[in-house]
Amino acid sequence: EPEVTQTPSHQVTQMGQEVILRCVPISNHLYFYWYRQILGQKVEFLVSFYNNEISEKSEIFDDQFSVERPDGSNFTLKIRSTKLEDSAMYFCASSGAESSYEQYFGPGTRLTVT
């Protein structure tokens, strides 16, 4: 069964460093998402991406964040200058075309900023 994959599973970085989280969505999906979950808190929406551009973003998704689909298979989330409060689990998800809105989640990347 097709699945969303994410790398790395765990990333440790120092405050102020740039990180790139990678996702490979399900191959025929058209919509891509990033969510995050700070330890002990709810999952929160960050951004959605369709047709090579951001379609929605939350107030969390500020100028520190960017997304890209560099090669038609990968979907990346970049955090330019990490802060301690960026420590969280980051989930990528993808969904199909108009008639199917079900989102399929990747296993997550645990980001630890020290």
Binding site for other proteins (CB under 8 A): 31, 33, 35, 37, 42-45, 48, 55-56, 58, 89, 91, 95, 98, 101-108, 110
25 or 108: whose CB is closer to other proteins?
108
Q: Which residues make Cβ contacts (< 8 Å) with residue 23, sequence separation at least 6?
A: 4, 5, 6, 32, 34, 74, 75, 76, 77, 92, 94, 106
d(C-alpha 46, C-alpha 98), whole Å = 21
CB of 88 to other proteins, least distance (A): 10
CB of 48 to other proteins, least distance (A): 6
